Amino acid sequence: MRYGEFSCFQSGVAVPVFSLKTQDCVGIGEFLDLVPFGTWAKTCGLNVIQILPVNDTGYESSPYSARSAFALNPVFIRLQIVHGADAFKKDIQTLQKRFAAETKVHYAEIARAKRQILRKIFDANYAMFDKNVALAKWIEANSWIKPYAVYAMLKEKNGESSWRSWKEDQDPTALRVNSLYRKHRKDVLFQCWMQFEAEAQFKVASNKLTEMGVRLKGDIPILINEDSADVWFNRRYFSLDDRAGAPPDMFSYSGQNWGFPTYRWDVIEQENFTWWRERLAQASKFYHAYRIDHVLGFFRIWAIPQNERTGILGHFSPAVPVTQTELSAAGFKKETVEYLQRPNYSKEQLREFLGEATESCLEKYFEFLPFTSDRYVFKKEFDCESAIIDSAEEQSVKDALLKVQWNRIFVPGSPANTYYPFWYWYNAPVLKTLPQNEQEILGRLLHANEASQESIWYANGKKLLTVLAQETDMVVCAEDLGAVPHCVPSVLGELQINSLRVERWARNWDAPGQPYYDVSEYPRLSVSTTSVHDTSTLLGLWNEPDFDKNLFWKNHLHLEGDAPQSLSPDVVKLLISNIFQSNSLFCILPVQDFLALSSRWTPQNPEDERVNTPGTVGPQNWAYKMPCTVEELSDNSTLKNEIAKLVNARANRSLR
């Protein structure tokens, strides 16, 4: 959908669909709740509503664990208006009452219960749905729906287990999918019908927002779950040998392993990017703008061997590896390179890592290096993180064994005799075992290798993002957080893709004191915000022990005196007023930060309003529910007026 011309700075609110609460929703926010929420946003002067991904995740609460890049999540369907729902009004009302007073979203329970009611409605009206001309035409018009529906049907029949554990149909052909579609027509048509209903309701909501002048910004994750219809049916597009993640950074010493397969871009390109083009076309049915999650992955993805658990042993892809030819020319023999990739140790050296556990670990996990009787290497079956992490050892022993595993200069590449630098190669103990001159030679070689990557990443990012940016008329916004290659800003600028500025992280990290950038210095082609779904809210940030309130208060906001110990609505107003002065074309804040302008809905514990904490698993994640209904929010004229004043001040600034 076309966004339209920009006549003023754009201001918006971010809220997950699942977090919305209205008088009509059943346990969880629904697509149609976006309409009254949009009405409220419009009265505040807001132009944009930003949401998280709304693809089908089955019974997984994370919106980033989609089992389809195309299918919508049926949990967002409004049951009451589905044809045939009147006969099950009591079931719907019972479910609605059951979760009405809950302060968190109980996703799996609600998803299961709503699907059960949808199945009852479908079964009771199957004869009609089976002959529904509109449904039949919709199925024919959407090439993704049959493979998805067959996959979803088989997954249900296999107890929701991954396709990898199914006894049959792990690697289907198009003929097999069509055969299963005919054989299990009723069960498969149920899956199609749910998608038909979900799309119809979502399009109604999106069109209503368009009519009122509010734009909808979606979220398109770059990656897709291994246990998904897309990987199951379009296996050729994905590499199951690697997992995508993020390299180590200041927040995680060992990096992140997201568990998603990486793309085989060569195959996707050979087919003219059809899968991605169709994915964007599907999104453009609903969105005026979209956020590309982890845009850095289009330049280079952090690829981790599938038998590793953390992200530390990964490497960027694409990337130029270091070759044995280069290393030989620099004076490093093959056996030396093997040693730097898979170090061998004396017992005394291992004792430095393992301490009192040395003797027991030697017997279990190590063997002699061939042709030696005093040098040890990991046994093949333990030469990966998974084997160590899954062992029965105490955590301290596991940690020590992992340090041995991570003591290296190289991780192996493909083809043979190619290598990628280990992330912490410069601090690896094995480096210090080389003569000083060899350390220096190796350092120069690896630094040169690092510098050579930028041109490859520029070309790759430019090629892939050009396809995305030119495919639809949606406004493209990039999530470009993390270790950003130097080429990224230039490519985003060339393609008119908005970057992201999260105020707390928008700092000059290379300068003394790591000062904040003034919001007036943010690039025009950007989205600025106070918080995102993976961070604390403003209230939570102020309570974080590592957050230097006074630095932020004095050096960034340029205010006198010490920062207040807690955030009152007046101080929140100051903070929002500041970010609304940004030079960014878009300024989109989470609904929680807007609610903090009123003490009426301020939580006692700010963690209660956090959407997700990366690196953690638990019921607290992806469960945030607004503390008020949209109707109650609309009735709060004081809050509405406060937001409107802030938004109007931003809108009245000249775009020039």
Q: Tell me whether residue 18 is exposed, middle or buried, using C-beta atoms within 10 angstroms of its C-beta: 0 to 12, 13 to 18, 19 or more.
A: buried
- Residue 250's pLDDT band (cuts 50, 70, 90): confident
- Residue 505's pLDDT band (cuts 50, 70, 90): very high
Task: With a cut of 90, say whether residue 230 has pLDDT above it.
Answer: yes
pLDDT tens for 317-330 read 999 999 999 999 99
Whole-number Å distance between alpha carbons of 478 and 470: 15
- Residue 82's pLDDT band (cuts 50, 70, 90): very high
Task: With a cut of 90, say whether residue 5 has pLDDT above it.
Answer: no
pLDDT tens for 166-188 read 999 999 999 999 999 999 999 99
Cα 571-574-577 angle, rounded to 5 deg: 150
DSSP secondary structure letter of residue 216: E
pLDDT tens for 363-373 read 999 999 998 89
pTM: 0.95
Q: Tell me whether residue 422 is exposed, middle or buried, using C-beta atoms within 10 angstroms of its C-beta: 0 to 12, 13 to 18, 19 or more.
A: buried
Residue 401 Cα to chain centre, angstroms: 30
Contacts with 257 (C-beta within 8 Å, 6 or more apart), sequence order: 243, 245, 304, 308, 309, 310, 311, 314
Rounded mean pLDDT, 273-286: 98
Are 195 and 157 in contact, with CB atoms under 8 Å apart?
no
Task: With a cut of 90, say whether residue 656 has pLDDT above it.
Answer: no
